[in-house]
Amino acid sequence: MSLSLHSPPSSFLSSSLPKSTLGFANGSSFSTLFFNSNISFPVLRASSSSVDVGSSTELDAVSTFSEIVPDTVIFDDFEKFPPTAATVSSSLLLGILSLPDTIFRNAVDMALADSTCSRLDNPELRLSCFVNKALVNVGGDLAKLVPGRVSTEVDARLAYNTHGIIRRVHDLLKLYDDINVPPERLLFKIPSTWQGIEASRLLESEGIQTHMTFVYSFAQAAAAAQAGASVIQIFIGRVRDWARSHSGDPEIEAAIHRGEDPGLALVTKAYNYIHKYGHKSKLMAAAVRNKQDLFSLLGVDYIIAPLKILLSLKESITAPDEKYSYVRRLSPQSAASYEFTAEELTKWDQLSFASAMGPASVELLAAGLDGYANQTKRAEELLDKIWPPPNV
């Protein structure tokens, strides 16, 4: 779960840091991940529409157009995909707690020994304090292991509380400061409710970088871009899955009527909006299900791809005379000619945002929030069972 990060300003996670990759959760049961690859992923090139790949791999070819982000869990084979940046969340804590011998277990145990949290009489506040401290302790350990940035998930139960999100981010920043992790090494993952987008706007105005997740509609993407979010993540596979078993969403039905995949169409429209109107946000495409999805997204800033797809790309050799043409599908040049309706160019407010959210985005957002909230609750329950920890 994470992103890229080279020194050019086009890479949102870089800050005079070596190139790195921060992966993002894909909604699996073990969805808090951290990624990277020992493969060299070139920085996105905006100057060409196709590439002569020569005798190279498909991965080399597609990496010419977009930064490719491996989607893997921390217990995967690091020799193939060693991490250079990281994401920490409640699902990562669940993984650590399920494997007592992991190198991060001490970070969790030390969080449980924190006197500030232990002194809290309210059990709910005490457990929330333990979770925050554990997230930051693990994030601090990861910051020592990776050259890139560490992304920290904000409690999904705060998704509809703008000031609650901001307070939580400030609390996490203070905890990171206590262990000497500077703000430039961090970003914060926030659900794309209207309240979350407003929190992003205010945090970005303070110089705190945010990553908006659970984006399933153009309204969410455009509002997040207007808010100045550093990263906007769209789950193309989830949008497609919803469309296969549901109907009645105007945005999805319009894409299908045009003969387009609704998930890919959403990424295309969001990318064109961001680049045509000069927003700073970088766009990530997640829930990529196959190589054709990836080929159709070439040019988007970041693509999160499962290991099986990356391994297939890495093992597929492309010869100079191969007929397949790797073509950049998205570019600032093509964005400039994309036409938007007056309704799509609105200055989004809470009312217009709510009106534009179709059933797909409403249902998928709710499902994502429920999943993350349940993970956080499970993490709290596990921490409660082992508090106070032995031998600390």
Q: Is 188 helix (H, G, I), strand (E, B) or coil?
A: strand
Return the structure tokens found at 348.
Answer: 């989004």
Residue 46 CA to residue 22 CA, distance in Å, equals: 22
DSSP 57: E
Cβ pair 24, 284 in contact under 8 A: yes
DSSP 156: G
pTM (2 decimals)?
0.83
Residue 275 CA to residue 46 CA, distance in Å, equals: 12
pLDDT at 63: 84
Residue 273 CA to residue 123 CA, distance in Å, equals: 46
Return the structure tokens found at 98.
Answer: 């399920």
Residue 12 CA to residue 43 CA, distance in Å, equals: 12
Q: Is 283 helix (H, G, I), strand (E, B) or coil?
A: strand
pLDDT at 304: 84
pLDDT at 278: 96
Residue 241 CA to residue 48 CA, distance in Å, equals: 33
Residue 298 CA to residue 58 CA, distance in Å, equals: 12
List the chain pLDDT tens, one digit each, 392 residues: 443 333 233 333 443 333 333 333 333 333 334 333 333 333 333 333 444 444 588 888 888 898 877 776 554 545 565 555 677 889 889 988 888 778 888 999 999 999 999 999 999 999 999 999 999 999 999 898 877 778 899 999 999 999 999 999 999 999 999 999 999 999 899 999 999 999 999 999 999 999 999 999 999 999 999 999 999 999 999 999 999 999 999 999 999 999 999 999 999 999 999 999 999 999 989 999 999 999 999 999 988 888 888 888 888 886 655 534 578 999 999 999 999 999 999 999 999 999 999 999 999 999 999 999 999 999 999 999 988 766 55
In Å, how far are 79, 124, 391 from 308, measured between CA atoms? Answer: 15, 40, 41
Give a three-class secondary structure readout of 284-351: EEECCCCHHHHHHCECECEEEEEHHHHHHHHHCEECCCCCCCCECCCCHHHHHCCCCCCCCCCCCCHH
Among 299, 297, 271, 281, residue whose Cα is nearest residue 44: 299
| Total length of the chain | 392
Residue 3 CA to residue 302 CA, distance in Å, equals: 7
pLDDT at 149: 76
Residues assigned a catalytic role: 189
DSSP 85: S
Residue 344 CA to residue 356 CA, distance in Å, equals: 9
Backbone phi, psi, residue 99, to 5°: -130, 90
pLDDT at 145: 82
Return the structure tokens found at 182.
Answer: 């500077």
Residue 23 CA to residue 236 CA, distance in Å, equals: 16
pLDDT at 361: 98
Residue 137 CA to residue 143 CA, distance in Å, equals: 10
Virtual torsion, Cα 21, 22, 27, 31, nearest 10 deg? 110
